[in-house]
């Protein structure tokens, strides 16, 4: 089975061709970062127009690089939400047109499910597993028992972790997208210099809260304005370490909330690209007897391969969608079972 996957829900226009033996035949991506940088974040209208410009050539490139034609495909999978709806519509309309013209199965993928199943594309990973999904818009623990079966164990009470990274990055003078830049800056800092809170530490459950930590970082920055380069690096690393402490502590609690005999912790989403976070989670898993699974960096952030793979998983189970599927700007993972 060979599937084309299309991703246009945020600021990356992506298309990939993946085979059901887990071979990624192509994985093409155009980042719109330069177009959004002057505004400090993603502008939905600019994103939608860029997707429109880039998507057709990117699909062509993905097919060419995979050495397949539309006739060789067994289906088309596309992110149909959640995300910036203008961009999602560009992807979904393109996928529907291709599916209709080629008479191919059309699969509407929840973007979060794309992240959630990436571990099964990159590793020989059985169900059930514990998923920590950490991205720009989401921060949650899910017990994954099958394709489409997600039990929410905890989520953020305020900001998503990627959002907190991006905001603190701006406080220390870094441009969008802040997460990777903050990780780099943090390497030269002293994490002991600024004492920052660990919200919810010691409390039951595995919810998150990052807005208090973000505010504490901002107040600390204001107290030391104008910030020297060393101040910025020290703030970046102090913030990053506080976030990681919170995530590690919450993961310990999430293990206790599992109902199934879970052996694996899988991390997914853009923030899963953060090396110190991966190292600490790996240590925790070793301590507690779990196997830690982290996709390669380029498959943590948004990409087309994860959408193609989610399409393969669904088609194998006989799930596909009709061409009147309505894209969903909001689409929580734990509602998925009701929609397939």
Binding site for ligand KG4 (CB under 6 A): 10, 135-137, 162, 165-166, 177-180, 183, 269-271, 273-274, 301-302
**CB of residue 175 to ligand KG4, shortest distance in Å:** 11
Nearer to ligand KG4, 73 or 161 (CB): 161
**Given 302, 304, 305, 320, the residue binding Zn ion (CB under 5 A):** 302
**CB of residue 21 to ligand KG4, shortest distance in Å:** 26
Looking at beta carbons, which residue is closest to ligand KG4?
A: 270
Number of residues that bind Zn ion (CB under 5 A): 2
Residue 65, judged by CB atoms within 10 A of its CB (0-12, 13-18, 19+), counts as: middle
Task: List C-alpha distances in Å: 249 to 203, 243, 290, 317.
Answer: 10, 10, 15, 36
Q: What CA–CA distance (Å, rounded) separates 268 from 139? A: 10
> Which one, of 197, 231, 201, lies nearest residue 214 by Cα?
197
Rounded (5°) CA angle 193-198-202: 135
**CB of residue 90 to ligand KG4, shortest distance in Å:** 16
The tokens describing 162, both together, are 């990627």
The entry of Zn ion, ligand KG4, none near residue 327 (CB within 5 to 8 angstroms by kind) is: none
Nearer to ligand KG4, 122 or 135 (CB): 135
The entry of ligand KG4, Zn ion, none near residue 162 (CB within 5 to 8 angstroms by kind) is: ligand KG4
Asked if 135 touches Zn ion (CB under 5 A), the answer is yes
Asked if 241 touches Zn ion (CB under 5 A), the answer is no
Q: What CA–CA distance (Å, rounded) separates 79 from 304? A: 9
Task: List C-alpha distances in Å: 223 to 26, 116, 123.
Answer: 49, 40, 46
Task: List C-alpha distances in Å: 312 to 5, 106, 120, 304, 305.
Answer: 9, 11, 11, 13, 10
Identify whether the C-beta of residue 268 lies closer than 8 Å to the C-beta of residue 278.
Answer: no
**CB of residue 181 to ligand KG4, shortest distance in Å:** 8
> Which one, of 76, 106, 96, 84, lies nearest residue 328 by Cα?
84
Window contacting Zn ion (CB under 5 A); options: 69-77, 97-105, 300-308, 310-318: 300-308
Nearer to ligand KG4, 178 or 304 (CB): 178
**CB of residue 287 to Zn ion, shortest distance in Å:** 29
Residues that bind Zn ion (CB under 5 A): 135, 302
């Amino acid at each position: 089975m060979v599937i084309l996957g299309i991703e246009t829900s945020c600021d990356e226009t992506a298309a990939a061709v993946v085979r059901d033996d887990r071979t990624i035949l192509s994985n093409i991506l155009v980042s719109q970062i330069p177009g959004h940088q002057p505004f400090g974040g993603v502008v939905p209208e600019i994103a939608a127009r860029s997707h429109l410009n880039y998507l057709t050539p990117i699909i062509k490139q993905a097919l060419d690089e995979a050495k397949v034609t539309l006739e060789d495909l067994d289906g088309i999978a596309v992110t149909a939400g959640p995300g910036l709806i203008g961009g999602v519509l560009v992807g979904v309309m393109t996928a529907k047109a291709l599916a209709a013209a080629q008479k191919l199965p059309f699969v509407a993928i929840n973007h979060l499910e794309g992240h959630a199943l990436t571990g099964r594309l990159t590793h020989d990973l059985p169900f059930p597993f514990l998923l920590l999904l950490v991205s720009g818009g989401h921060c949650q623990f899910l017990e994954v028992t099958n394709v489409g079966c997600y039990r929410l164990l905890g989520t953020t009470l305020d900001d998503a972790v990627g959002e907190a990274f991006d905001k603190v990055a701006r406080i220390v003078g870094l441009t969008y997208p802040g997460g990777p830049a903050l990780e780099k800056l943090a390497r030269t800092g002293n994490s002991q210099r600024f004492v920052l809170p660990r919200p919810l530490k010691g409390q039951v459950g595995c919810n998150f809260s990052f807005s208090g930590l973000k505010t504490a970082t901002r107040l600390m920055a204001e107290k030391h304005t104008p910030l020297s380069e060393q101040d910025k690096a020290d703030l970046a690393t102090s913030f990053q370490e506080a976030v990681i402490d919170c995530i590690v502590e919450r993961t310990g609690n999430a293990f206790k909330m599992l109902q199934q005999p879970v052996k694996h912790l899988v991390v997914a989403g853009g923030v899963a690209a953060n090396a110190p976070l991966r190292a600490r989670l790996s240590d925790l898993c070793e301590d507690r007897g779990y196997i830690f699974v982290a996709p390669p960096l380029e498959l943590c952030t948004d990409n087309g391969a994860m959408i193609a793979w989610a399409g393969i998983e669904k088609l194998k189970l006989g799930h596909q969608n009709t061409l009147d599927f309505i894209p969903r700007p909001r689409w929580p993972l734990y509602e998925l079972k009701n929609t397939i």
